[in-house]
A and B are shown apart, each in its own frame.
Chain A
Amino acid sequence: MADIRVMREDLLPPKEPPRRHLISVADLTRHDVERLLGTARSFERSLEREVKKLPTLRGRTVVNLFYENSTRTSSSFELAAKRLSADTMSIKSSGSSAEKGESLKDTALTLGAYDPDVIVIRHPHIGAPQLVARLTGAHIVNAGDGKHQHPTQALLDLYTIQEALGRIDGLHVAIVGDVLHSRVARSDIQALTLMGARVTLVGPPALIPRGIEAMGCERTTDIDAIGAADVVYVLRMQRERMEAGANYVPSLREYAARWCVTPERLRPGQKVMHPGPMNRGVEIDPRVADAQEALIETQVRSGLVVRMAVLYDLLTRGPVAVETAVPLEVA
Chain B
Amino acid sequence: MILASKPGRPDSLVVTGARVLDPVEGVDAQVDVRVDDGVIAAIGTSLARNGHRVVDGAGLTLAPAFADPHVHLRTPGREDEETIATGTAAAAAGGYCAIVAMPNTEPVVDSAAVLGSLLEQAKAEAEVPVGFLASISKRQEGAELTEMGELADHGALGFTDDGRPVVAPALMWRALQYASITDRPIAVHCEDPTLSRGGHMHEGVVSAELGIGGWPSIAESLMVERDLALAAYEEQPLHLMHLSARESVEALARAQAAGVRATAEATPHHLVLTDDAVRSLDPNVKMNPPLGTEHDRQALLEGVRSGTISCIATDHAPHARHEKEVPFEEAPFGVTGLETAFAALHTHLVEPGLLPLETLLERMSTGPARAYGLERPRIAVGAPANLVLLDPNASWQVTEKGFRSRSANSWLLGKTLKGRVRLTVATGRVVYES
Give the residues in chain A near B203, CB-CB below 8 Å: 209-211
Give the residues in chain A near B213, CB-CB below 8 Å: 147
B282 at interface by CB-CB < 8 Å: yes
Say how far A45's CB is from chain B's closest CB, in angstroms.
35
Interface residues of A, Cβ cutoff 8 Å to B: 103-105, 123, 125-128, 130-131, 145-149, 181-183, 186, 209-212, 214-215, 243, 246, 325, 327-330
Determine if A146 and B208 form an interchain contact, defined as CB atoms under 8 angstroms apart.
no
B205, B206, B207, B209 interface centre (most CB from chain A within 10 Å)? B209
Given A328-B280, A328-B282, 15 other A-B contacts at CB below 8 A? A105-B325, A125-B327, A125-B328, A126-B210, A126-B329, A127-B329, A128-B327, A147-B212, A148-B212, A186-B211, A210-B204, A211-B208, A212-B209, A215-B209, A327-B282
B198 at interface by CB-CB < 8 Å: yes
A-B residue pairs, 6 tightest by C-beta:
A147-B211, A125-B327, A211-B205, A327-B280, A212-B208, A127-B281
Given A105-B326, A127-B328, A128-B327, A243 contacting B214 (CB threshold 8 A):
no
Determine if A130 and B211 form an interchain contact, defined as CB atoms under 8 angstroms apart.
no
Determine if B322 and A214 form an interchain contact, defined as CB atoms under 8 angstroms apart.
no
Given A209-B214, A211-B205, A243-B198, A330 contacting B325 (CB threshold 8 A):
yes
Give the residues in chain A near B209, CB-CB below 8 Å: 186, 211-212, 214-215
Give the residues in chain A near B280, CB-CB below 8 Å: 325, 327-328
B283 at interface by CB-CB < 8 Å: yes
Task: Give A104 to B328 CA distance when docked, in angstroms.
Answer: 12
B120 at interface by CB-CB < 8 Å: no
Determine if B211 and A183 form an interchain contact, defined as CB atoms under 8 angstroms apart.
yes
Give the residues in chain B near A130, CB-CB below 8 Å: 281
Determine if A104 and B207 form an interchain contact, defined as CB atoms under 8 angstroms apart.
no
Task: Give A149 to B414 CA distance when docked, in angstroms.
Answer: 28
Say how far B78's CB is from chain A's closest CB, in angstroms.
18
**Which of the four size classes fits the interface of chain B?**
20 to 34
Determine if B322 and A126 form an interchain contact, defined as CB atoms under 8 angstroms apart.
no
B143 at interface by CB-CB < 8 Å: no
Task: Give A54 to B346 CA distance when docked, in angstroms.
Answer: 61
Q: Per-residue CB proximity of B257-298 to A under 8 Å, as 1/0?
A: 000000000000000000000001111100000000000000
Determine if A243 and B212 form an interchain contact, defined as CB atoms under 8 angstroms apart.
no
Given A148-B210, A148-B212, A214-B209, A126 contacting B326 (CB threshold 8 A):
no
B198, B208, B413, B414 interface centre (most CB from chain A within 10 Å)? B208
Give the residues in chain A near B80, CB-CB below 8 Å: none
Say how far A85's CB is from chain B's closest CB, in angstroms.
33
14 A-B pairs, CB-CB below 8 angstroms?
A103-B325, A126-B327, A126-B329, A127-B327, A146-B327, A149-B211, A186-B209, A210-B216, A211-B204, A211-B206, A211-B207, A327-B281, A328-B281, A328-B283
B358 at interface by CB-CB < 8 Å: no
Determine if A126 and B325 form an interchain contact, defined as CB atoms under 8 angstroms apart.
no
Task: Give A90 to B61 CA distance when docked, in angstroms.
Answer: 62
Residue of B nearest to A208 (CB): B208
Residue of B nearest to A26 (CB): B209
Of the residues B214, B216, B328, B413, contact of A126 by C-beta under 8 Å: B328
Give the residues in chain B near A182, CB-CB below 8 Å: 211
Task: Give A104 to B326 CA distance when docked, in angstroms.
Answer: 7
Give the residues in chain B near A243, CB-CB below 8 Å: 197-198
B330 at interface by CB-CB < 8 Å: yes
Query: B residues 410-431 with Cβ under 8 Å of A?
Result: 413-414
Say how far A13's CB is from chain B's closest CB, in angstroms.
30
Determine if B214 and A210 form an interchain contact, defined as CB atoms under 8 angstroms apart.
yes
Give the residues in chain B near A181, CB-CB below 8 Å: 211
A148, A181, A186, A215 interface centre (most CB from chain B within 10 Å)? A148
Task: Give A105 to B280 CA distance when docked, in angstroms.
Answer: 18
Give the residues in chain B near A186, CB-CB below 8 Å: 209, 211
Task: Give A279 to B329 CA distance when docked, in angstroms.
Answer: 28
Q: Per-residue CB proximity of B375-409 to A under 8 Å, as 1/0?
A: 00000000000000000000000001000000000
Q: Per-residue CB proximity of B182-215 to A under 8 Å, as 1/0?
A: 0000000000000001100001111111111110
Task: Give A280 to B355 CA distance when docked, in angstroms.
Answer: 59
Give the residues in chain A near B282, CB-CB below 8 Å: 327-328
